[in-house]
DNA sequence: CGTATTTGTGTTATCGTACACATTTTTTAA
DNA sequence: TTAAAAAATGTGTACGATAACACAAATACG
């Protein structure tokens, strides 16, 4: 690799001053066609690329990045996201960035809306958020429409024009679960999909996972899975009677991170044959994974979603690094053995 | 976050000039104890961190990074690594780095040694390599001993003093495979470990995987697995007679990326009941994964190993970013469904 | 006591880019 | 033809860290 060429090299080659080159580069006008031609030719010939380091130093602004995240104190599912964000913040502590965290109440769309608007008023240069509520998200996006603000989301997909989305293919994760159950009981299979409906915000997620699971069953000539939705109240009663009604059940797929609650019930009635699959590396889930009540966990990796997305945003602002419009993380299958390797992963 | 403090702020606070501050920062002497005390205090109080961007700009050197990699033309296992490296190179094309690739012959330790020494003569600032041969690696490391060169490895672990290692816990991956087989045939299980010994360089890898597999079996009261090593010659004959001898075999664990060769044989004799687990997302493996002959693949993710490691090296040189001494990547379990999500992963 | 030498300190140019401002050249109008 | 306006181009400084250099004050030594 030959040494990098600078603006000065271009200027010399084209026989003009660096100021003129700069004007061409930034299309600020006030340049004769003749000079412009020569400069453009020189840029091409020398394959000039501006030095992003120098640009960043020059601009010298403190990039303000808003992160709009559900409050982990209100729903611990978001704890790993917060951790990921914090890690990235300390990773870039030496750089001129200012990450402002806005924690909204995941059960109140208004809280989301208000904090989104607050981020706008605070004049953030980028907003990285979980678009939990469709209508409110649109309202926020409208606000930012004119402003030159980098908009990035994670966890929940969104149709709107967003610069970046980091997440997972939920349909595929449902199919993956179905395949795992199918593997472990290779006949026609009698399976159940359990939705645990704590807050309606997960509805979309659960539906997509279910859809994937069912599509696998159909394509592979399996019996259609049973479906049941459990709420916090009468959780155990309902589940137990469901199990009694379906004695021949071979596997259960829990579409949320609360598989441990199902495991608890299964344990209490000494039901050991049923294969149980759930989501996420929560401590409660891991405990039952080690005991063998939970057989597989699917890793949604919210932490990586958050940290990777924020990193894309930061590196774009700082170093002008490009990023993909959509980044779908791999669907991790976790059993009692490789769990460790995913937990260690946590710390960078 | 308050605005970043600069060397100038420190100078003002301590009532000295920036030159004096710089001398303290770099321990270049020529500073009175009184000034030093004041400066150190100011640095502490303002929590001063040097701006890595400015430092890099000032230093302005082109960092030369040597990458010592087995030639993918001679062993296609390394193709993804090369791709990962190339991706990172283009990702940082705007920065002042010069990545020099040295392709050695993975079947000839001498080739490895020679290119390692060549990298030294070329005066690289960092060397990122696969330490395939122990003795030769030590010889190379000795060379670099005095020089202030960043040494990083991937894929093959090493005891020596290396700044960074990116890889996987091989023992754990063997355990993971055992757990998967156990899940799919929940009695005492009759399993076989198949080593496919193409080149001795894999010996260490294979041994560790076997070790993990066996330890799982012991801990879980399973039968000890059978072990067989196959060479290219008489591959099929040997395998077929092995299968005939053990009609009740329930699962096979192939410790290399050549599970597809075993799958080919199983297919040819219409053996469908045996569960087959292998390594790596090769096209040949994926084909049999979709067909159902291969049931699981374990993802060693050589591409991420290479790209992540190189990225650590580059970001350390460019931005003084820190990295862990050892980075063990998660052990990915792949079935026919989530394979897609890992393949998509390939492109950044 | 005067000249060397050491020690402490401040000033300044540099890296590559960006932009305000100064200066020169060209065009237009009187 | 010449002054004014417009267009084109060059110059200087800043971003923050670094280090060579200049210079003063303090100390050493014959």
For domain A59-167+302-329, give the CATH number. Answer: 3.40.50.2300
- For residue B45, is pLDDT > 50? yes
Name the nucleotide with the smallest C1'–CA separation from A14: D9
- Residue A318 has φ and ψ, to the nearest 5°, of -75, -50
- Residue A264: pLDDT above 60? yes
Q: How far apart are CA A45 and CA A149, in angstroms?
A: 34
Q: Which residue of A has its CA nearest to B53?
A: A53
**Can you tell me the distance from the alpha carbon of A196 to that of A203, in angstroms, rounded to the nearest whole number?**
10
Per-residue pLDDT, B347 = 44
Task: Name the pTM for this structure.
Answer: 0.82
**pLDDT one-digit tens code per residue, A111-146:** 999 999 999 999 999 999 999 888 899 999 999 988
Alpha-carbon distance values, A257 to A95, A240, B281 (Å): 36, 20, 28
Cα B197 from Cα B210, distance rounded (Å):
13
Tokens at A171, concatenated:
């349909």
Residues of chain B with CATH 3.40.50.2300: 59-167+302-329, 170-299
Name the nucleotide with the smallest C1'–CA separation from A32.
Answer: D8
**pLDDT-derived band at A347, boundaries 50, 70, 90:** very low
d(CA B13, CA B5): 11
The string of pLDDT tens digits covering residues B225-260 is: 999 999 888 899 999 999 999 999 999 999 999 999
pLDDT one-digit tens code per residue, B195-220: 997 665 667 788 999 999 999 999 99
Check the CA dihedral B127-A311-A279-B292 and report its sign.
negative
DSSP secondary structure code for residue A202 in this structure: G
Listed by range, residues with Cβ under 7 angstroms from strand D are A 15-20, 23, 29-36, 54, 57-58, 60; B 4, 6-8, 18-19, 22, 25-26, 28, 50-51, 54-55, 57-59
Instruction: Tokens 């012959």: give the residue.
Output: B105
Distance A55 CA to C15 C1' (A): 12
Between β-strands A296-299 and A275-279, what pairing exists: parallel, antiparallel or unpaired? parallel
Q: The domain at B7-50 falls in which architecture?
A: Orthogonal Bundle (1.10)
pLDDT of A11 > 90? The answer is yes
Tell me the per-residue pLDDT of A93-105, one tens digit each, with 9 for 90 and over: 777 788 999 999 9
- pLDDT at residue number A186: 65
Domain(s) of CATH 1.10.260.40: residues in chain A? 7-50
The more confident residue out of A57 and A320 is A57
Inter-residue contact A281 to A343 (CB < 8 Å): yes
What pLDDT shows up at residue A178? 97
Asked if residues A310 and A335 have their Cβ atoms less than 8 Å apart, the reply is no
The backbone region for B189, taken as left when phi is positive above 0, alpha when psi lies in -120 to 50, beta otherwise, is left
CATH code: domain B170-299 is 3.40.50.2300
In the predicted model, is pLDDT for residue B78 greater than 50? yes
Mean of pLDDT values over A324-331? 92
Is B337 in contact with A53 (Cβ distance < 8 A)?
Answer: no
Closest nucleotide to A9, Cα to C1':
C16
Q: What is the mean pLDDT of residues B104-122?
A: 95
B337 to A277, B133, B288: CA distances (angstroms): 15, 37, 13
Average pLDDT rounded to a whole number, residues B163-167: 93
pLDDT reported for residue A214: 97
């Amino acid at each position: 690799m030959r040494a990098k060429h600078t603006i000065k090299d271009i200027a010399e080659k084209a026989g003009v001053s660096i100021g003129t080159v700069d004007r061409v580069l930034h299309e600020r006008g006030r340049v004769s066609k003749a000079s412009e031609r020569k400069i453009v030719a020189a840029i091409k010939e020398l394959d000039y690329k501006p030095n992003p380091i120098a640009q960043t130093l020059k601009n010298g602004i403190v990039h303000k990045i808003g992160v709009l995240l559900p409050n982990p104190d209100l729903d611990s599912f978001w704890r790993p996201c917060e951790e990921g964000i914090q890690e990235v913040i300390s990773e870039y502590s030496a750089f001129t960035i200012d990450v402002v965290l806005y924690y909204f109440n995941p059960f109140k769309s208004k809280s989301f809306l208000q904090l989104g608007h607050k981020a706008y008023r605070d004049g953030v240069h980028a907003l990285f958020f979980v678009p939990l509520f469709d209508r409110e998200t649109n309202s926020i996006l409208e606000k930012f429409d004119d402003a030159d603000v980098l908009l990035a989301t994670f966890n929940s997909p969104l149709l709107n024009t967003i610069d970046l989305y980091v997440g997972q293919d939920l349909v595929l994760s449902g199919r993956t679960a179905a395949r795992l159950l199918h593997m472990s009981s290779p006949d026609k299979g009698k399976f159940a999909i359990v939705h645990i409906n704590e807050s309606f915000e997960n509805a979309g997620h659960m539906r997509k996972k279910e859809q994937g699971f069912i599509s696998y069953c159909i394509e592979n000539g399996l019996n259609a899975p049973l479906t049941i939705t459990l709420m916090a109240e009468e959780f155990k009663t309902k589940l137990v009677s469901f199990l009694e009604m379906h004695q021949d059940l071979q596997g259960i797929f829990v579409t949320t991170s609360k598989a441990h609650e199902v495991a608890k019930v299964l344990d209490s009635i000494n039901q050991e044959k049923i294969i149980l699959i759930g989501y996420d590396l929560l401590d409660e889930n891991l405990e039952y994974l080690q005991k063998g009540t939970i057989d597989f966990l699917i890793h949604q990796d919210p932490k990586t979603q958050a940290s990777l997305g924020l990193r894309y945003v930061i590196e774009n602002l700082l170093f002008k690094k490009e990023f993909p419009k959509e980044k779908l993380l791999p669907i991790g299958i976790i059993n009692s053995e490789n769990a460790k390797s995913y937990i260690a992963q946590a710390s960078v």
